[in-house]
Every structure is written in structure tokens, then in C-alpha cells.
Chain A
Amino acid sequence: MITRRQAISRMGIGAATLSLAPLQVFAGMEELRRHPIHSTGEKIPVIGLGTWRTFNVGDDEELMLDRTKVVKSFFDEGGGMIDCSPMYGSARELMGFAFERLGVPDTLFSAEKVWTREGSATREQVRESEELWGVKPFDLMQIHNLVSWEAHLETLKEMKENGDIRYIGLTTSHGRRHRDLEAIMRRGGIDFVQLTYNLTHRSVEDRLLPLAKDEGIAIIANRPYDGGRLIRDLKAKHEVPQWASDAFDCESWADFLLKFITSHPAMACAIPATTSVSHLKENMQAGRGSLPDEETRQRMIRHVESL
């Protein structure tokens, strides 16, 4: 069966699709760094796009068009992973709205979540999300905040075997339920884990990130800017240190914060969220150029702690 995504990308439906020819229009642009999904070796761009808060706009068409520009810019810049959830209000509807106008790019790596306490409702919610996005099958289906994870995981494994989804993941945020997460990671059968990791929240470095590397699990870092506060405060009060620019390609605080995350060996990608095209471009730039080495990473930690 041909999927909607395949049909659209083969037929090149819609004028907007033509404007979504990023690799042709921006042929001279350096490609984004890609990191592997350990379970298959497939590589994805290290900067993705989060949608928590930013893509929940109700039925406001003006804002929907506004966010569609962010999505377009994301793919123009060579982006891959967009991460969403049924918990994020109308964000799933917005994805469908955007792809109706832009077409579904071949480079999309669709990451959705199952978020329901009803363990028997996994398939139903995945189907609902597929309809809302206009995308089938999802590349990655995650169990949001480990809600009813046992029942969902069983069904997701069956779905993966049947080709209804490509990868399985688990998510937490804010450092919650790390013990449970660790136990599930050790059981095997998980391709991705999404957790909070940024310069000021590094508790996962001790156990979860090394474990992910050992178990061949790809990590997605959510809240890379600590909900926006971190980069807002840094931008408002401090200059990017010159030593960082000398040590690696670091022109902005977005480079500083995102490259710290993506330079960790266990990290597949970071998913900053934004409502602004200019911020999006700044974020995507952090997926290009050299990364800090371990010594520089330690200096980055000390620097931010000293501010």
C-alpha cells in the first residue's frame, strides 16, 4: 500500500511543495551533522524540532501559517526529526496543516508519542496521530513519560514487527522516573530514549547515557534550553566567550548550548522548540561545524556554572 507520504513525495503535489526544495535552493549550504541510530545504523540530523507549547495554537489560522513557516524553514535547513505528542494540544493538527501546504518532505523523521493511561488504546492513538499528521507510518513512536508503559510497549513491539512503526522509544523529562527508565532500558527492545539533558541538567551523564551507549539506544535530548530560560538569560546578560569561538565553531549561545549536548557520544539529536524562524535558523546552525572536545566540554560546564 502506498502511503500518503510516499504519494505526495512522488507526485510533488501542490505549489508549496516546490518551495520545499531545500537541497536545491540551498545547495551551497553545509549539511547538518548526522548521528547514528545505534539499532540500525541509520543516521539522522543532530538538530530536530520540538513542539511542546510552541505548536499548540488551536484553530488560529494566522498562527498556524506562522508556525508552518517554522516547519518550512526547518526542512529548508536540512532538518529531520519533528517530535510531537497527543499531550501538546493542537500540535498534531498543526503538523497536518503544515504538511498539507508544504508536502511531506522525504527528510522528515516523524517522532510521535502514545500518551494514554488506557493500555489497550495504543493502536487507536497511533492511528489518530497518523490521521492528524497525514503521515504513515511514523518513524518513531514513544511512550510519553512512561505512562502505562508495559501495555504500550508490548503493542508497539508488535506494531514494529508488522512495519506499522519503524522505531520504539521511551520519554521522560525534567529528570523524572530515571530509575524506572533505567530498568526498562536494560530489558532491551528499545531504539530511542528521550530525556532532559542540557548544560544545567546533567544528572543523566552518570548512568543513563553510558547505559544507552552500552545497550545501543539512541538518545534524544529534550529541553535543551531548559524551557527557554537558559538561553534567554544567557543572551540577555552575557556574551559568548571568545575561548569557545576559538575552540570550536561557536558563534552564538545556541551553538554553545546545543553543541554541548550533541557532542556527547551517546547523543542522537537535540530537539529545541521555537516559534521564530530566526531562532530556528540559529538552532540549525548548531548542527554544522566543529564540536567541542571533552576538555572544552568541561570548560563549558565550569563557565556556565560561574555565571
Chain B
Amino acid sequence: MISEWRSYAIEDFIPFTADVYLRLIERVNSGQWPLQLPMLIVGLAVIVLLGRKRKLSAGALLAAAWVWVGTAFLIQRYAQLTWVADYWGWAFCAQAIVLCAFAFGSKSDFRFRKPFPISDCLGLAIALYGLVAYPLLTAFAGSGWAQSESFGIHPDPTAIATLGILILFSRGWQLWIQSLIPLSWCVFSALTLSVLETSGFYILVSGIALFLVSMVWVSVSPFFERAQAQSELDSQGL
């Protein structure tokens, strides 16, 4: 049985070719144009609203983007090519509930601090990578604007931008739980793109790598900060 499982490769689970996937991106773009622009504003608004302590509004907007991508892209379109997309579509809707629940229940009181700590810089960088850089990079790497991928329209930039936003305003176990679905999607999608051998693979993996570095940083930096504070207290003889 083990040897039988070893005979499977990732490609055995990807039942379509690269041209079909790129056409899917293209068709969703043309079908939803000009929604890409309001969605970009929604993404930027989420960051601004969080900076102004309006967690509920920010959470609701972000959740709406996840529901839209889950239904309009994954369930209605992508699921025609692979049944797994149907489940992912529901996972995206579940993520919307998770985001709303944490926005409603979270006690964290995020605000932008000056000077920007490294973790905030990383979070903002990832969020802007998903919101602004992603459409540009996928347009340049693919066949122009028709195949560019945008936040709130396509799942990859939506997940990456969300991971950046989570690095900005969430910490500890809450960060891990809220990151679970977006990160799992990114890994799934990266595996798909690696089989299809599209340039989008490198763009997505860069986003994932940036997020993982940030996760490590936000996990270990409090220990360093505490140790530094302790040593300062010690040096003052307190």
C-alpha cells in the first residue's frame, strides 16, 4: 500500500493543463471587470480601518472579499475543472466567518506605532505585495493585464494580502488560527502552479516565503524584546 502511494505524483491530482488555468484567470478578469479596482480600494481600506481601530468594519470588508472569491471564482468557475475547488470555495466562506468572529471578539487594540516596528513593516509589505504588486507581477510574467491576478477576484493575491494584514494586527494563537486557511490555500495553489509550470508559481512562493519569515519574526521577537527590556532594567540596577 505504501509503495502504491509512492507511485502518486502531484500531477496526478491536477486534472487540467496550464492553458486552461490561465484562460480561467483571463475569463474571470474579463467577466468581473472593473471590479478589480473597487476590490483594490477595499483591500487598502481594510488596512486604513484597522489603523483607526475600526476592527469590525475592516473584518467585514475582508470577509466579503473572501466570500466573493470563494463563490465567484472557486465554486462557480474553478470547480468546473477540479472537484477540490468546490471544497476550497466553502473553506474560503469559512475563512470569512473566522475573520468576522475574530474582528468581533478580538481584544487586541492594534494601532500603527512610530517608528514602525519590523513586524509591522513585514505585515504591510506582504499586504501591499498581495494588493498592488501581485496584479503587476502576474501581468508582466503572463500575457499582460488579461492574465493579471487581483485581490478580491483571484484567490492567490487575496490569500497573500490577508496573510499580510493578519501579520499586522493579529498575534499568538489568533494569528495561527486565522492564517490556517489562507496559508493552506497558498501551499495548495503553489503545488498546482508548480505542476502547470507557470511563472505565477514564483510570485506566489515569494509571498509565502515572506509570510513564513514574518511568522518566525513575530513569534520570536517578543522574547528578544523582553530579554532586552530585562537587561535594561538590570543595567539600571532595578
Contacts and interface: CB of A to CB of B under 8 A. Distances in A.
What 9 A-B pairs are tightest by C-beta distance, nearest first? A58-B80, A174-B7, A56-B16, A89-B15, A57-B20, A56-B15, A176-B4, A58-B81, A89-B81
B223 interface: no
Size bin of chain B's contact surface: 10 to 19
Interface in B1-57: 4, 7-9, 11-12, 14-17, 19-20, 23-24, 27
B7 A90 contact: no
Nearest to A175: B7
Contact of B81 (A87, A90, A177): A90
B82 interface: yes
B171 interface: no
A176 B24 contact: no
Contacts of B81: 56-58, 89-90
A305 interface: no
Interface stretch (A17-25, A59-67, A163-171, A285-293): A59-67
A60 B7 contact: no
A107 interface: no
A275 B80 CA distance: 18
A88 B20 CA distance: 13
A176 B20 contact: no
Given A60-B24, A89-B82, A176 B19 contact: no
Interface string A219-258: 0000000010000000000000000000000000000000
A138 B42 CA distance: 52
Given A89-B80, A90-B80, A227 B20 contact: no
Interface of B: 4, 7-9, 11-12, 14-17, 19-20, 23-24, 27, 77, 80-82
Contact of B11 (A57, A59, A60, A227): A227
- Chain A interface secondary structure, helix, strand, loop or mixed? loop
Contacts of B15: 52-53, 56, 87-89
B16 A53 contact: yes
Contacts of A58: 20, 24, 77, 80-81
B23 A63 contact: yes
Given A90-B80, A90-B81, A56 B20 contact: yes
Q: Which of A57, A87, A275 has most chain B Cβ within 10 Å?
A: A57
- Could you say which interface size class chain A belongs to? 20 to 34
B82 A54 contact: no
A50 to B, nearest CB: 13
Given A56-B16, A59-B80, 19 more contacts: A53-B14, A53-B15, A54-B17, A57-B16, A58-B80, A60-B23, A60-B24, A62-B23, A63-B19, A89-B15, A89-B16, A89-B81, A89-B82, A90-B80, A90-B81, A174-B7, A174-B8, A176-B7, A275-B19
Contacts of A54: 17
Contact of A60 (B4, B9, B14, B20): B20
Nearest to B16: A56
B23 A174 contact: no
7 contacts: A54-B17, A56-B20, A62-B23, A88-B15, A90-B80, A174-B7, A176-B4
- Chain B CB count within 10 A is highest, among A53, A54, A87, for A53
Interface centre among B20, B77, B80, B81 (most CB of A within 10 A): B20
A97 B115 CA distance: 62
Nearest to A56: B16
B28 to A, nearest CB: 11
Interface string A39-78: 0000000000000111011111011000000000000000
B36 to A, nearest CB: 20
Nearest to A66: B19
Contacts of A53: 14-17
Contact of B27 (A60, A175, A176, A275): A60
Nearest to B14: A53
Contacts of A52: 15
Nearest to B12: A174
